[in-house]
Structure 1
């Protein structure tokens, strides 16, 4: 009958074998799908995930994956539970559960516990993370599910078809904002500690207390604020589409092939916002063919950081040292400033008086003004600021400027800053009206021949930007009055001056290969003519943002030789140089402010200083031997008196050994204390206190300090640091000679035993030959030294 049935159906043995093979393949495929396809749900009591890395949850649409991971850059075993994009080229983590408490070994699991919480717990019973919900009597109704949005939701069905969401990861983000989240005053992004540690870092992104502005905090300090601007000075604002994304609304986002593209809420699935470990807020968009693209970020650079250089400090992206104080202002803390901490800003001695002046700064970005009003002219605006305390700066904006903001009717506006000047930036790319900053005349007062400030740059004498200021020998600078930029012109080209002070200025150059330690900072090809000279050069690193490259840039520090007496046409030109008279003493027809009798010109101090010897104009060469004799005498007295003193001590020892032992220590203490007192005065810049009062009026201080410097060098601890007598002659006879800086002298006496005569003889010879030498066997000085040094 079986054969009959097969015949009736037209089936043969071959057909049966084919049908059997097909059914087997279908069954195997179904079994593989059930057993090997990743799940997206955790239930109670089964379904836990261990931290051995063997199993993960994958969302239904295979967009996100949840599991334990170890950051790739660390070498020790630290594992975290996190969510990342599924099968991305490199793992992009969007959420971490136990970010502040990593697992240090295997043996932990992620599961629903008996009290109904979702928890990471170790087999020893320690909990590393939990949803923190109240206990339930029916944990079997609870389940956790990873959605395609990247949201891990934990709910309770309570034996009904409707599941109640009890907890979700979107309400507890780490450093990433995803589509489906909604920014509120309670939501905060917190950066990772570093790229290898998801622990909470120091930067956070959130809404301010009023819920109107987005703010990035660096600990408790404002790091960046979205939309901080005034009517005429604007900062980088968030794109409109990014704001819509944060508030979970539809709108426009940047598109790589056009300026903007209107997207629906579902299209935001390819968008994310991340707070970087450096406090950078990044706006990413995914494209199928280009992977993830960074579309916007803030702050964009060092100068975009909120008040990057502190109050009255100006930021410049193109300088090696990004911050500097406005003209007439000084760092509030010089030590912090030198260490790269500019948060304290700058201060001025301005007392808000009638004698204050205003510095005109161009192309400056500045924080929002305190108030503004309509005004007839710039004069009225200036008077308003000058007559009201406090008013630190003003800006006059002509009416026609308002047209670019489509403001009608066109009116003149006066902007006033009465508190502090914040968020200052030089060479601001968006431009803006001139900013007039109030400063004390005493802080900005220059010599009669000094040039007007060029933007934020004060031009010290003798440097010159024109024929009517400075000294013609130093006239290779150019000031762009429209931008306030200062340039240095050489035979190699024109270079932007980044910083300038009373002694040096700095320029930048590209592709200079000789600025390194092997050349001592010298640039052979960078030729400079007298009086300019290269002091040093440094690679430019560390102060640029992501949109500015510093590769190949070096900063060259340039100094100059001291100038001769200033040029003059009348005695009025010499009023800023006291004790000088306008005359021609060389017969070349050029008039200069020559120093009067008993004064000489000091090019470093830019003044006529009192001379001890010689005629007007300075020291006469025929009188140099006199100063030499004085200097050598002082040095010789110090050395010879020491030798004489110890000779006396040794002679006394031959007569009364026991008494000489006491005298030796007493006299050593006396000389040691005198030398220490001299060194202390030198170190504390009180060396002139060593000068006899009767010499104060007649003795030249520079000569006295030079002689004292040479004397201290003669009693240095290391013989290699002591000059020869020929070197001493050069030191004291040449004003151009650069004297080394002395180290602290070392003077001591070796104590010998009161033994035999032969031992005493050896001691005496050792004492006379090592009175000024270094030794590890130093004798401690008793309380007489301490009391003398304290005096």
Structure 2
């Protein structure tokens, strides 16, 4: 009897058959895929399983599946591969975690996108970009050595992890806001330390068009940066001076952005937005991460801590809110209890037509500024005064070109912080009668202060007189009794303004200096500079020092001597010579420095018998180190310092031939916002001075840049700028460099003694950079920040220079005066002539 099969049974068997076929096809497809084995790329037909990793070409980063500590979930992420501690910088499936220890797969799907499959071959995450139906099989992926996972179609980037960051900001990444598409690239914190899911904090660029960045908690501001001052680059030098990190900022009609870069890619540096809302800057050192900086740093950093028109002051670990002058608390009772959130209000309402502005200095500019573009200071004020809704304005010179920045505020001023060191000026609108009252009050306070100062000064003078008289009588008595002890070799005192706590200055007696230098014997003489001779000395304990003795004939008076003393005491950098102490006794004035056994750079650079000791690699290192030292002086020391006499003779070499900038007798301190100064006493060394300084006495950071450019070309060529002369062709070293560069022959400038061992491409780059530094106009020269940046990056495209200054100068200088061991630091205007 034949077996009867019902329709339902037939349908069931048919379904089972199809499932078997589908399972076979999936098995066939998966079996056709190839496992990845540590490669840095992925193509269609290959995949990454849960126990495998992709490793970038340089071995810095790895991509694979991971499980956070104390978690049962699995994620696809990228982490540092060359350090002991697994630190994840990016997570793909933050919102779609996988089960731990399951068979997960990362691959390129049929549509050409990155995919993550769970163990059921279900796609739980995709890069999700639109790709033409005719080209999906041609896509490929690569893990870059920057930590960026890239999906490409040929050379076109379709998608990259750097455009979809998690909580980390690493070198090469960009935080941005597109003004046309409103697409933003921002950081989002983890939910907690062990859960990569999206947390409640976000860091990004202000979408309101204000040039600033914020940390938001949910959708509310939590922390706000300063309003950008227009500078294209912020550079942060690490404490050891071994590398620098810089953030390049940009703003145009299409987008606002900033990019993090680092001069040494072997250093691991990262910003991380923590689940607590704190943004940290961290560096990997030996066995762990070190926090270099963090925001919010104190209570005043939290957004709107003191409410509208309230200024936050952080002092000695305590918070204080104060109403701006001309304002009073809205709720005095709440204000007195420490609840400042309601803020302040006008003490006398403004009347629009009878208003003026009160300048408040040292302020973090408030939120909600409106940028009016390139207006001068007067126009910025007038525009605000014309608009009754304008409550304040701020004006600043931009650090790019000749641009300016005019900012207006409309309505209440919020998130004001008093910051004397890095704050800016803001002009707050007040009723004219209120301005008169404030000025009268300030004048009365100043008068009282002046009277108190006079009384205090009189008391101090009286005490000082009594002290001096007492000391004189005591001294005479001791001398008379023959009990005056021998002078100690030196005594120690703490230099209260030196940056490092371990830095000390010593005061030496003349007797101890005479003993150290064998009575200033010729055998101990190291050389002679413009302000006097320099001797080698040996202190007790066989400590070698260099002693600079101010010549009685020198034009460096007590002012220059004390200037050098105070300056170097505050400068601490591995490429600056270290001051150990001083001697000021009678007419003697001496400075005691660390001893540099290889003396000055010019002793090697211009001596035919020693030039070969400076290999090309060493010369390049010297160039980079001098640049780092100058950058520190201009931007990162506690004082902004212009050296004014940078030359080969003022660069000393230690035992390992590391350069240190010396001789700060003519250096000048600039204010934080000061850009240039003028002097009637032009001092320096011919051949290194910029034209604006030599002819007009104007000096600035760009004057030092010019000197650096000359020195750079000297280091490359082994030729001295002072006294350089050719009967045929260019008459100056700068002219020769220009002629060779213009004819694509820059490599010919290299010192012949090292021509066989140099890298021609590096030589060409250095000549190019040197010419940029010696441009006629200061505006055409780069800053030292840019110089260091261009030296550190291998692929930097340099702008084209124009013909440099002094490239066509007649031989109007006696070369013999610049070649010997003595060179005058005073220059008269008639000693340079140009056509």
Using structure 1 for the length normalisation, give the TM-score.
0.37
The structure where strand makes up a greater share of residues is 2
Give the structure with higher Rg (CA): 1
Using structure 2 for the length normalisation, give the TM-score.
0.36
